[in-house]
Amino acid sequence: MTKRPFLGWFASPSILIAFGIAASFLAIVQYSFRANIPGALDPGGFTLENFTTLWKAIYGDAFLNTVLLCLWTAVFTLLIGYPLAYAMVRARSVRLRSAILLISLTPLFLGEIVRTYSWMIVLGNRGFLNAALMQMGLIDRPIPFMFTMTGVVIALVHFTLPIVVVMLAAGLSHIDRNLERAATSLGAGRVRVFLTVTLPLSIPGIVAATSTAFAWTFSAFATPQMIGGGQVQTISTLVYQVGFASFNFPLAASLSLTGLLFTVAVLAIFNTGIRRLERIGGH
């Protein structure tokens, strides 16, 4: 009998899939260094032109927009997600906890299209929000939410919220409640216990949630595409446009590759942060 039964059988399918992933990554790298031949599917010879093209203003703007969207979305998602995660983990009644859990997590399983379309109906000039504000007499002209950064951020916060709540709740549920009880028994009020015990202990969860929020916002496509309507270009919408409107796949590949390197760099910084925090928290 072998010491490791099934190793070959169990590992082979995943090895095959790993080769597929590696090959498609190499395909992007390879295309990003090839010249584009308009009208032809196959790319031309070796060139660095794709990367020099990326220095043009529209690509720089898309990078800037993407970074700003990631930043604002992370800030607002954390502000809204933290109380929600806190209530979910700490609610005393099982029913309330289940209700919060189902309401806040169902959107996670709804996909980007349904959610973005729903926000288009809320945010449009004839949409729910403007109609409500006008009927209340607060405004006399619709506020433009569609095709603006504000509108995209609102929808992106809603899109990112469930996964951030999951990460924050996981962090909060692992906090030792005895530490809070100790602080209370020593005379600290609720606000002080939260600020000096609970909040610091949940920082690793906050950092993890922020990095996930960043990755989600960065890869969001339908939201900036549909709510931004071409006025708010991000890396994702530009990759699609360059690929499917201009059929310049080498340029789309180099844009994707640059975006990916940027994501990996940002996530690496977050990871270092998490490791440092764990070292402080663990000992």
Partner 1 sequence: MRKSLLDHLLDWAGRIVLIAILAFVLLPFVVVAIASFNDGAILSFPPREWSWRWYANAFQYRDFGAGLTNSLKIAVFGATIALIAGAGFAYVLDRYEFRFKNTLNGILMSPLIIPNFTIGLGLLILSAAASLPRNLWLVVATHVVIVMPFVVRSVYVSLQNFERRFEQAAESLGGSPWHVLRTITLPLLAPGLASGGLFAAILSFNEFTASLFVVNQSTQTLPVAMYNYVREYADPTLAAVSVIYVLAVAVILLIVHKFFRLEKVLNVE
Shortest distance (Å) from residue 235 CB to partner 1: 8
Cβ distance 103 to 231 under 8 Å?
no
Shortest distance (Å) from residue 248 CB to partner 1: 12
According to the binding rule CB under 8 A, does residue 109 interact with partner 1?
yes
Shortest distance (Å) from residue 219 CB to partner 1: 3
Query: Per CB under 8 A, which of residues 130..149 are in contact with partner 1?
Result: 131-132
Q: Which stretch binds partner 1 (CB under 8 A): 44-52, 53-61, 119-127, 273-281?
A: 119-127
DSSP 46: B
Shortest distance (Å) from residue 14 CB to partner 1: 4
Query: Per CB under 8 A, which of residues 58..97 are in contact with partner 1?
Result: 80, 83-84, 87-89
Looking up tokens 């390197």, which residue turns up?
Answer: 261
Binding characters for partner 1, 233-252, by CB under 8 A (x = yes): ---x--xx--x-----x--x
User: Among 61, 67, 68, 112, which residue interacts with partner 1 (rule: CB under 8 A)?
Assistant: 112
According to the binding rule CB under 8 A, does residue 262 interact with partner 1?
no
Query: What gap in Å lies between CA 208 and CA 270, rounded to an integer?
Result: 8
User: Among 57, 136, 186, 191, which residue interacts with partner 1 (rule: CB under 8 A)?
Assistant: 191
According to the binding rule CB under 8 A, does residue 128 interact with partner 1?
yes
DSSP 145: -
Query: Per CB under 8 A, which of residues 202..231 are in contact with partner 1?
Result: 215, 218-219, 221-222, 226
Shortest distance (Å) from residue 100 CB to partner 1: 7
Q: Which residue's CB is nearer to partner 1, number 54 or number 84?
A: 84
Query: What gap in Å lies between CA 125 and CA 144, rounded to an integer?
Result: 6
Q: Helix, strand, coil shares of the chain as percentages rounded to 5?
A: 75, 0, 25
According to the binding rule CB under 8 A, does residue 4 interact with partner 1?
yes
Shortest distance (Å) from residue 50 CB to partner 1: 13
78-109 b/e (C-beta count within 10 Å ≥ 16 → b): bebbbebbbebbeeeeeeeeeebbeebbebee
Shortest distance (Å) from residue 174 CB to partner 1: 10
Contacts of 70 (CB under 8 A, 6+ apart): 213, 214, 217, 218
Query: What gap in Å lies between CA 226 and CA 276, rounded to an integer?
Result: 39
Q: Which tokens go with 36? A: 């584009």
User: Among 39, 40, 41, 57, which residue interacts with partner 1 (rule: CB under 8 A)?
Assistant: 41
Cβ distance 7 to 18 under 8 Å?
no
User: Among 52, 74, 117, 196, which residue interacts with partner 1 (rule: CB under 8 A)?
Assistant: 117
Query: What gap in Å lies between CA 149 and CA 156, rounded to an integer?
Result: 10
Among residues 222, 191, 254, the alpha carbon closest in space to that of 34 is found at: 254
140 Cα distance to chain centroid: 35
Number of residues that bind partner 1 (CB under 8 A): 87
According to the binding rule CB under 8 A, does residue 164 interact with partner 1?
no
Shortest distance (Å) from residue 179 CB to partner 1: 19
